[in-house]
Amino acid sequence: MTQTQAPGLGATQDEHLEALGKYRFGWHDADTAGASARRGLNDDVVRDISARKGEPEWMLERRLKGLRLFERKPMPTWGADLGGIDFDNIKYFVKSTEKQAQTWEDLPEDIKNTYDRLGIPDAEKQRLVAGVAAQYESEVVYHKINEELERQGVVFLDTDTGLKEYPELFQEYFGTVIPTGDNKFAALNTAAWSGGSFIYVPKGVHVSIPLQAYFRINTENMGQFERTLIIADEGSYVHYVEGCTAPIYKSDSLHSAVVEIVVKKGARVRYTTIQNWSNNVYNLVTKRATCEEGATMEWIDGNIGSKVTMKYPAVWLLGEHAKGETLSIAFAGEGQHQDTGSKMVHAAPHTSSSIISKSVARGGGRASYRGLVEVQPNAHHSASSVKCDALLVDTISRSDTYPYVDVQTDDVSMAHEATVSKVSDDQLFYLMQRGMEEDEAMAMIVRGFVEPIARELPMEYALELNRLIELQMEGAVG
């Protein structure tokens, strides 16, 4: 286990276990930005956010409409327990630096420290990162785009800048995939959004390296409401990677993002998330893509952190031969509820979708798969396959499957399958008699279980996922 040992872990078993209970990225810098921001949300706060950003009038109206819908909509009761969220005790807008930095050296010292520990400069050096939009608190402070991308006409900006520079694209697409009143949290995001990524890929452009952004919440009780809009024009390809880690704080944080993706004719978009918020974050996210004729949307969705996650990446298959895919992995440890899944709506003939979901629950955590496959009456010759596997490693954890299937036409093939299994004594015995420790063996079995998803990730994410799983699994055996 030496290769995976986190800094500061004890040598004896007791110290080791003690240290394992702590969140590894649980440091945070002195809270200088958050002190001034107000708590709670009302008309004035929304107007203030919009004015500070110098937004056009239509966006302010959209925000106010979002606020009204947010106030009117009831809290969802069908999923995880959201009783711990206090909307009046959240700061809806925090700005940490006045203007965006152009190079790494321009970043403030404490922000650089944060990112050094996340390893961003290394990734940059290895040229694995195409453009890094590092979101520190509510606004993007560091932004660099590879010259090659600029030459191809690819736009990769934070959403606020995107709105300033490409107002016509925003008017055309903003809120079209996820309407303001789609759900309570999408309405909240529309009212309070700040930051996020804006990507436009021109016709026929193939972005060969993944575009990445790091998100962090660093102010106590600070909601983070990123708004991401990705437009992949005809025949283009882009892979966007979103990763999250957040420090531990005393009271609960709320993260409620909206991600809208427009995949035009023949284009392909892959969106990868490894969500590792600290265990006090409510992560309530709406993600949806629309696919035109022959387009492909792929969601790769890893949920490891947070206290409660409710996230169901969706694909609306609007054109013939469109294709949607979701690979989802959820890891629920002590005190965590991962309520995740995917939605596929077949609204055109010859569309296909597949959902593969894997979940591991341990230490009393709860992992739920909740999904929907809807085949509308005109979507003949469609095919869909859903596979959910759950792995239980102890007797106190919980695993649920709620797969909704609604088929409204005859010429269709739809299959759903789920298995729930327990790590067997035979598997453990086999590995242990080859000289492995029990927790090592357990971690290896879990890694094997999630391997089909891990291999779809960019390499450094796959490594990080494996490391996180090992950290999670240590102490699971007792």
Partner 1 sequence: MTITEVPNVAGAIETLESHLHPQPSFDLADHPSPNGREEVWRFTPMRRIAPLLEERANEDREGDPAVAFTLNAPDGVEASTLNRGQAPRGTVLVPGDRPAALADLGCEDALYVRIPANTEVAEPIRLEIEGRDAGRRSNAVHVIVAEPNSKATIVYRHSGSTQQLENIEIDVRDGANLTFVSLQDWADDTLHAAEHTARVGRDATYRHVNVSFGGDVVRMHTNVYYDGPGGSAELFGLYFADAGQHIEHRLFVDHNAPHTKSNIDYRGALQGQDAHAVWIGDVVIRKVAEGIETYESNKNLVLSEGARADSVPNLEIETGEIAGAGHSSTTGRFDDEHLFYLTSRGIDPVEAKRLVVMGFFVDIIRRIGIPDVEERLVAEVERELAASVGAAK
One residue of 338, 399, 466, 472 binding partner 1 per CB under 8 A: 399
Smaller CB separation from partner 1, 414 or 444: 414
Size of the site for partner 1 (CB under 8 A): 37
Smaller CB separation from partner 1, 176 or 413: 413
Q: Which stretch binds partner 1 (CB under 8 A): 10-18, 111-119, 189-197, 398-406?
A: 398-406
Under rule CB under 8 A, residue 401 binds partner 1: yes
One residue of 95, 402, 427, 432 binding partner 1 per CB under 8 A: 402
Alpha-carbon distances of 384 from 245, 298, 377, 407, 410, rounded to whole Å = 33, 14, 15, 10, 13
Smaller CB separation from partner 1, 19 or 418: 418
Question: In angstroms, what is the minimal distance from the CB of 390 to partner 1?
Answer: 7
Smaller CB separation from partner 1, 164 or 380: 380
* 134-25-161 Cα angle (round to 5): 15
Query: Measuring CA to CA, which residue among 258, 198, 185 is closest to residue 229?
Result: 198
Alpha-carbon distances of 189 from 41, 288, 391, 418, 428, rounded to whole Å = 11, 14, 34, 33, 46
Site for partner 1 in 404-423 (CB under 8 A): 404-422
| Contact residues for 419 (Cβ-Cβ < 8 A; gap 6+) | 388, 389, 390
Smaller CB separation from partner 1, 174 or 449: 449
Write out the E strands in 173-322: 197-201, 211-216, 227-232, 237-245, 253-255, 258-263, 268-276, 281-291, 296-303, 308-311, 314-317
Under rule CB under 8 A, residue 116 binds partner 1: no
Under rule CB under 8 A, residue 393 binds partner 1: yes
Smaller CB separation from partner 1, 110 or 394: 394
Q: 107-117 burial, b if ≥16 CB within 10 A, otherwise e? A: bbeebbebbee
One residue of 48, 234, 334, 394 binding partner 1 per CB under 8 A: 394
Query: Measuring CA to CA, which residue among 190, 167, 164, 6 is closest to residue 99?
Result: 164
Smaller CB separation from partner 1, 199 or 393: 393
Smaller CB separation from partner 1, 79 or 108: 79
Smaller CB separation from partner 1, 190 or 397: 397
Between CA 43 and CA 194 the distance in angstroms is 16
Question: In angstroms, what is the minimal distance from the CB of 290 to partner 1?
Answer: 23
Between CA 243 and CA 275 the distance in angstroms is 6
Query: C-alpha 379: how far from its chain's center?
Result: 29
Strand partners, 388: 357, 418
Query: Measuring CA to CA, which residue among 251, 246, 256 is closest to residue 276?
Result: 246
Smaller CB separation from partner 1, 27 or 404: 404
CA atoms lying within 13 Å on the CB side of residue 41: 26
Under rule CB under 8 A, residue 403 binds partner 1: yes
Question: In angstroms, what is the minimal distance from the CB of 389 to partner 1?
Answer: 9
Torsion of CA 94, 123, 116, 276, to 10 degrees: 60
Site for partner 1 in 92-111 (CB under 8 A): none
Between CA 135 and CA 344 the distance in angstroms is 30
Smaller CB separation from partner 1, 139 or 389: 389
Question: In angstroms, what is the minimal distance from the CB of 296 to partner 1?
Answer: 23
Site for partner 1 in 330-389 (CB under 8 A): 361, 377, 380
Between CA 354 and CA 371 the distance in angstroms is 11
One residue of 400, 438, 439, 460 binding partner 1 per CB under 8 A: 400
Contact 90, 39 (CB under 8 A): yes
Per-residue x/- track, 23-62, partner 1 (CB under 8 A): ----------------------------------------
Question: In angstroms, what is the minimal distance from the CB of 5 to partner 1?
Answer: 27
One residue of 78, 125, 147, 478 binding partner 1 per CB under 8 A: 78
Question: In angstroms, what is the minimal distance from the CB of 145 to partner 1?
Answer: 45
Helix H, strand E, coil C: the string for 244-270 is EECCCCCCCEEECCEEEEEECCCCEEE
Residues that bind partner 1 (CB under 8 A): 77-78, 361, 377, 380, 390, 392-422
